[in-house]
Structure 1
Amino acid sequence: MTRRELIQRLARPLERELATGCRDRVVAGGLEKLVHNLARPFPEVIELLEGYAALEPDARCARLREALARLGVAAAPARAPAKTQAPVEEPPATELDAPVDAIPLGPGGPQKMRSLGVRTLRDLLFYYPRRHEDRRTLPGFAALAPGAKATVVATVLSKSQVKTPRKKMLITQARLADDRGHKLTAVWFNQPWVMGQLREGEKIVVTGRYTVRGRVRNLAVEYFEAEGGEQLSTGRIVPVYSLGERMSQAWLRRSVWRALEAIKEVPDPLPEELRQELGLADLDFALRQIHFPESEQHLARALERLKFDEFLFLELRVLLTSGASALVGQIFEVREEDLCTFLDALPFEPTAAQRRVLDEILADMRSERQMARLLQGDVGSGKTAVAAAALYVAARNQKQGALMAPTEILAKQHFANLTRYLWPLGVRVELLTGSMKAGEKKRVYARIESGEVDVVVGTHALIQKEVRFRELGLAVIDEEHRFGVMQRRALLQGRPDVLVMTATPIPRSLALTLYGDLEVSVIDEMPPGRKPVKTRLLTQRSRKDAYAFARKLIGEGHQVFVVAPLIEESDAEVMAEVRAATELAGEVAAMLPEARVEVLHGRMKAEEKDALMERFRNRDFDVLVSTTVIEVGVDIPGANLMIIENAERFGLAQLHQLRGRVGRGGEQAYCILIAGDTSRKTMQRLRVIEKSTDGFYVAEQDLKLRGPGELRGTRQSGLPDLQLGDLTSDVEIIESARSTAKRILEADPYLTEPEHQALKRELQLRGEAVGLREII
């Protein structure tokens, strides 16, 4: 680049700075930073503008005129003599909710913004970069490694376009030079529009694959942009955005920069006292640094604040909508002697995890606020015993308890367990299911209404209008995601304490957001003596080995589950599922001719499924082939092997749930995963199940690999898409946001206090983006 070109390039931003009143806002990061980058051949200019940011406006203007004079550029006439120059008035701050065209966007700019969903300056500032690139020190051409991908800044010397005669491919070429004079050729394939974007003498930022063939040095370009006069694309940590059609990174960066220029200070919805207590940056700083970070540390501070806000407004919305923050519930007296009586009567010693979780539940029951707690525990961890203890405390307070399960077979299983725990202590337990005869149901209804029954276990039959509790104090809901909101509400009239149980391992971060109106308790310890299920991953080539092992176990008197590939549920595919089940059952029967084989599929009615599972539990047959996910919690003590065909079609958490169906009788159990797809990625994922029997570890890995939207049940949960927050790594931020939301609403349940008005308005503005899964 010639000396004249260098002077012109440096003079442009200096002239613009002078014309806009010397406010040091023309260049992101300040004019001084630009001068240090561009004015290396002019050390007198660097010296003259040293400390520019600290000067008063009139002193800045004087220095700029002197700098331009030394460069031989005539400065614009002064508005007034330098000594008496009045300070330039700052334009009034643009409102955050002003339309986006309040800033200059260029031809078609507003339409481009609308295609991104951006209509206001607020929308634009909250349109976060998807990543950042460190372009503070980009390499020269001499430092590039052949075959490597690189980002460089270079000047366009010339450009040309040719069409190859054979393949009829259009090739655009640009001869580029770096700051040290080294040259190479940038190449674009079949992108005719590039010619119109390249301007000789202009600096561009280019990313591509560098190749060397003899003396020919090429860069196969993947992406490029003009550097621009505002220095937003080089010499800094640069934001990279998701783009719509016919827009460039440089244009979007410039637009965001102008929006930040136009807004003097972004108002902060969080009270300053709260920000200081939590050690959070203010919102103005966070938004400026997320787009144009001055350092990695500033970017980290910005991310922390903006992630916190995402989770805070999610938790506030859930707590406010559910009313869980201020509901008054039951108040139970928890007597030490009652607790000792229950624990002494258990046929086993509770684990430390069970005792810890029980303490958390009993603390809620003592409180005047309605208990709303999620009890998580892996299969066999002892959730039912903990629920039984809570139901016993309710009964000792002359209050009734109810446990609602999604299927009759599960309800009967819970009824048997609760009877074993509670009947010897004088607690009257009843079962109520839809299949009971009308006369039998009427007698149960009468006993519930009169208070002769202490604990009722049942299915949806518990929420029929004929069921009238004398005084329901505690409702336990097993696998609540199997019930609709209205079904849960029907059970929860009268505001009993609520305990939700699930055997599906849910990562804590997901539980805190997906079940935002519930406290979370986790039984993370298995009872001593329980043998982990041995898991083996096989390919189709070794499939016969799996069934040979099944033959051996059946010969020893054990039973086997075989799960067919998961088929998406839709009307068009129901018959395909039935065919798949029937065909697989035929294959299994051929491979195991001595075994009795039955089939379970989605076409069967609920009562048919329950009856078939009951027959399997009674050992009426040896192998159950199923194309549906076998009921969570179903206890088949004789089943010691599970074979899962095409295991890659299931999520890891689902596979872990399926594996938990075997080994319930106390003997060693096995699970064999047969992979239809043997790609490296698939095998790596399935080996998580092979290597670990920890359900929460498996669920964490599932969350990392597939994301929250893909996990079973969460796509319909109302969980919002998070722009910055990461459920796999932001547990501490989520917990801080949740406790802060609860504290705010405890002090001000409806956000009516003056210090919470900005918070309330921000919550309303974000309302559409914040999802909700309502439990109570």
Structure 2
Amino acid sequence: MPTLPELRDKLRRPLELERLRGFENRAVSGGLGKLLEGPLAGPFPQVREVLRGYDDLSIPEREQALEEALGMLQDSPPRAVSVPRVARQDVPTLAPSGETLLPGTALARLDWGHGGLKKLTGLGLQTLRDLLHNYPRRHEDRRALPSIAEIEDGARATVSGVIVSKTRRSPRPGMQILDAVLQTASGERVKATWFNQPWVEKNLREGAKLILTGRVKRFGRSAQLGVEHMELLDGGGAGSSLSTGRIVGVYDSKEGVSQDFLRKAAQTALSRFDMGDYLPAHWRKQCDLTDLADALQGIHFPHDEAHLARADHRLRFDEYLFLELRMLLQGEDAVLLGKRFTATDRDMQDFEAGLPFRFTGAQRRVLHEIADDMRSERQMARLVQGDVGSGKTAVAACALYLAVRDGYQGALMAPTEILARQHYVNMQNYLAPLGVRVGLLIGALTPKQKAEMQATIAAGLIDVVVGTQALIQENVSWANLGLAVVDEEHRFGVAQRRKLLAGRPDVLVMSATPIPRSLALTAYGDLELSIIDELPPGRTPVDTKLLQDTHRTQAYGFVMTQIREGRQAFVVTALIEESETLELLAATQLADDLRVILPEARIDLLHGKMAAAEKDAIMERFRAGEFDILVSTTVIEVGVDVPNASVMVIENAERFGLSQLHQLRGRVGRGSAKSYCVLVAGEHSQKTRKRLKIIEGSTDGFVIAEADLKLRGPGELRGTRQSGIPDLKLGDLVSDVAIIEAARDLAKHILAHDPVLKHPRLSGLREELQARSNQVAYREVI
């Protein structure tokens, strides 16, 4: 018959488990009420009384009752603190005060044991909120650790057991091997091995309980574990229950900070956190989200796979929600009234009738999205993305025509003078036959020409002005600016863009750089997104060929063949280092080599040390056919047309991202001649070849951008600092499009009703946004 101390221990264990699981009444089947009705609680009537009606209590009431009951089950009188201290000094415990703490509370207000606070701050954790959002980097299922006999040779496995012996050996000078024999709870033994890690030995005491992860190597019936990860547990109790027998989180850490300590720290934070939710219940229901308390509990200590999944979904959603809110709030013009245009279908039809081609289905769809925005009283802010040759400029010209039809002026701002001139010619061709007056304002104009154009703009005697940053100079004033089109917006700073938008015109942003929808929704969170994903019929795709550098002569032989047929060629070389001097040397050497290899060809050079005007002059000469090959170390300007160029050779193609390669390839194929892109790879690895084969096999910029995102991550596709995209802890831009769109919709809904989050019920949301954001622009708004 069990003794009274044995019965006390049997009753205490499920109560401790209930505390670890957040007082959710899930520790035992049927709830604690059913347990207390059974014979196990019979010898402890005072415990039954304290926990009477537990199922119907609130979480704080359950916590209070459970702590009192556990105190009654101690061998000695209970301490005055909420959770008993354990023997090890680095285990975090609660502060004596029983108050519930807000997420911004400094960790220094809690007692983390000897050296515990230093460990947490050493990981960059300063507040309770930091600790709660210090998510595990992965989770391991340790509910039923496998039998050693069942693990296949070479498989990765996690085992738990007690050290029964250890040895140290040095099979040769400079090598030290530590071996420890681990005995599992089932009595099996496995030899664990550490190579050249002498600092591990201090933890390999006989009787110490370890959890080890590594690759298994079998030798007949015996098994050896090459240890990749080790956790040392204390004498039992909470540490064991948090690290075994459940789905367990594994955290990023560093030397001297154990997983055991981090799990107990997370448990402490969860037990003291004010579990209020910054998202009201009706929004959570609308977006199918669990509450914040359940999500934080589930990411750190999930009950099962379903709990982990709903926690992960909620916390991912929150990452994107706050990112979208920050993007939408980053400008003082977040929600503004704009112009209101009639934008009739008849006007769009009249514009199209004057074109030498018909719009594609994608162009028509995007035009109707733009027209819907223009008819609205809210200011249009829309990004039009389209691959090279998809017809963005014609769509922008039609939008400008709609603005002019209503008596407004239009502006088209390009990042360089050569692009501005090119757009000016296109706008003249599209709009002048319809009676629209088109002007050009760039830095290269004489002072007299500038003054005349500025006066014409101010008097409203010009309808559409194409230009560079000259459009946003202080002495430019508009009679009635209604629509601003910005080409390659990422080339301009926020302050520059706002100068053009001072009169609150509708805004249309164009980009010829395909980026995945998920990245566009975050990087351009303040803009609606339209995609022209269809090329005009009859457009011949550029043939792409991948060659190793050992076949470079073959590539330039083909280039010379094209030149003899009257064509021109680009040759682009990748940067070797972040040095303009070395860049210039590399480019000069390549140009000199080509003059030897191709003595018939006329060759010129474009490099990073040239002034912008000099670069523009060289590009104009190339476009005029004054030389045959342009050698360049800079990315050839997006959007520049050289219709006679039919070949693009890219040296050291492996040094470029896939999206960059696709952009470079788009510099050719702009005329009627068949065009080609030759990728010369200086690295011959299978991995490099596989990556470059993607660009060889596809001409769809969005497919290529998705592949680039998977390979390189968002920061390299569009600079993280420039775009405002932080490192996502849980989010995955490759696969989270649906979550991003849902979060964006909610962010827009919130700000449509409360543009600066002033309502008292949004105070929690506002505080969380401030905590997640270090952007000055947001603080200025609120």
The CA deviation at 1:163 is 4.4
- Taking the aligned partners of 1:266 and 1:637, their CA distance within structure 2 comes to 63
Deviates further, 8-17 or 672-681: 8-17
Task: Give 3-state SS (helix, strand or coil) of 2:722's partner.
Answer: coil
The CA deviation at 1:770 is 10
> Does 1:294 find its partner at 2:303?
yes
Where does residue 699 of structure 1 map in the other structure?
705
Cα distance change, pair 81–749 in 1 and its aligned pair in 2 (3 A): closer
Select which of 77, 102, 124 maps to 1:117.
124
> Does 1:513 find its partner at 2:522?
yes
Select which of 653, 660, 679 maps to 1:654.
660
Percent identity among equivalent residues? 55
Select which of 90, 96, 105 maps to 2:112.
105
Cα distance change, pair 290–198 in 1 and its aligned pair in 2 (3 A): same
The CA deviation at 1:139 is 1.6
Contact 1:720/1:770 (8 A) holds in 2: no
> Does 1:763 find its partner at 2:741?
no
Select which of 628, 633, 636 maps to 2:634.
628
- Taking the aligned partners of 2:375 and 2:769, their CA distance within structure 1 comes to 32
RMSD between superposed Cα atoms in Å: 2.8
Where does residue 40 of structure 2 map in the other structure?
63
- Normalised by the length of structure 1, the TM-score is 0.89
Task: Give 3-state SS (helix, strand or coil) of 1:95's partner.
Answer: coil
Task: Give 3-state SS (helix, strand or coil) of 2:615's partner.
Answer: helix
Could you tell me which runs of 5 or more consecutive residues in structure 2 were left unpaired when the two chains were aligned: 53-63, 68-81, 83-97
Select which of 500, 504, 512 maps to 2:509.
500
- Taking the aligned partners of 1:113 and 1:554, their CA distance within structure 2 comes to 65
Could you tell me which runs of 5 or more consecutive residues in structure 1 were left unpaired when the two chains were aligned: 35-49, 67-77
Where does residue 247 of structure 1 map in the other structure?
257
- Taking the aligned partners of 1:259 and 1:28, their CA distance within structure 2 comes to 13
The CA deviation at 1:703 is 1.2
Contact 2:338/2:377 (8 A) holds in 1: yes
- Taking the aligned partners of 1:744 and 1:273, their CA distance within structure 2 comes to 12
- In the alignment, residue 63 of structure 1 is paired with which amino acid? L
Where does residue 44 of structure 1 map in the other structure?
none
1:51-200 correspondence runs (5 A): 51=29, 53-55=31-33, 63=40, 81=46, 89=65, 92=98, 94-97=100-103, 98-100=105-107, 105-160=112-167, 162-164=168-170, 166-200=172-206
> Does 1:561 find its partner at 2:570?
yes
Cα distance change, pair 491–473 in 1 and its aligned pair in 2 (3 A): same
Task: Give 3-state SS (helix, strand or coil) of 1:55's partner.
Answer: helix
Contact 1:563/1:625 (8 A) holds in 2: yes
Task: Give 3-state SS (helix, strand or coil) of 1:745's partner.
Answer: helix
Select which of 18, 39, 48 maps to 1:25.
18
- Taking the aligned partners of 2:499 and 2:776, their CA distance within structure 1 comes to 26
Deviates further, 136-145 or 186-195: 186-195
**Cα deviation digits, residues 238-277 of structure 1 (max 9, x gap):** 11110023011122112212322334x6211001011111
Task: Give 3-state SS (helix, strand or coil) of 2:18's partner.
Answer: coil
Cα distance change, pair 695–429 in 1 and its aligned pair in 2 (3 A): same
- In the alignment, residue 165 of structure 2 is paired with which amino acid? S
> Does 1:357 find its partner at 2:354?
no
Task: Give 3-state SS (helix, strand or coil) of 1:510's partner.
Answer: helix
Where does residue 548 of structure 2 map in the other structure?
539
The CA deviation at 1:282 is 0.7
**Cα deviation digits, residues 319-346 of structure 1 (max 9, x gap):** 1232454211111112333222111111
Select which of 684, 688, 713 maps to 1:682.
688
Contact 1:324/1:517 (8 A) holds in 2: no
The CA deviation at 1:547 is 0.7
Where does residue 495 of structure 2 map in the other structure?
486
Select which of 744, 747, 771 maps to 2:753.
747
Cα distance change, pair 466–262 in 1 and its aligned pair in 2 (3 A): closer
Select which of 242, 247, 267 maps to 2:276.
267
Select which of 471, 474, 485 maps to 1:476.
485
- In the alignment, residue 33 of structure 2 is paired with which amino acid? L
- Taking the aligned partners of 1:12 and 1:114, their CA distance within structure 2 comes to 39
Query: How many aligned residue pairs are there?
Result: 733
Cα distance change, pair 533–64 in 1 and its aligned pair in 2 (3 A): farther
Contact 1:430/1:453 (8 A) holds in 2: yes
- Normalised by the length of structure 2, the TM-score is 0.88
> Does 1:256 find its partner at 2:266?
yes
Contact 1:404/1:411 (8 A) holds in 2: yes
- In the alignment, residue 55 of structure 1 is paired with which amino acid? G
Task: Give 3-state SS (helix, strand or coil) of 2:228's partner.
Answer: strand
Cα distance change, pair 270–469 in 1 and its aligned pair in 2 (3 A): same
Contact 2:18/2:26 (8 A) holds in 1: no
- Taking the aligned partners of 2:366 and 2:592, their CA distance within structure 1 comes to 46
The CA deviation at 1:13 is 6.7
Contact 2:148/2:188 (8 A) holds in 1: yes
1:402-421 correspondence runs (5 A): 402-421=411-430
The CA deviation at 1:440 is 1.9
The CA deviation at 1:52 is 7.1
Cα distance change, pair 619–773 in 1 and its aligned pair in 2 (3 A): farther
Where does residue 72 of structure 1 map in the other structure?
none
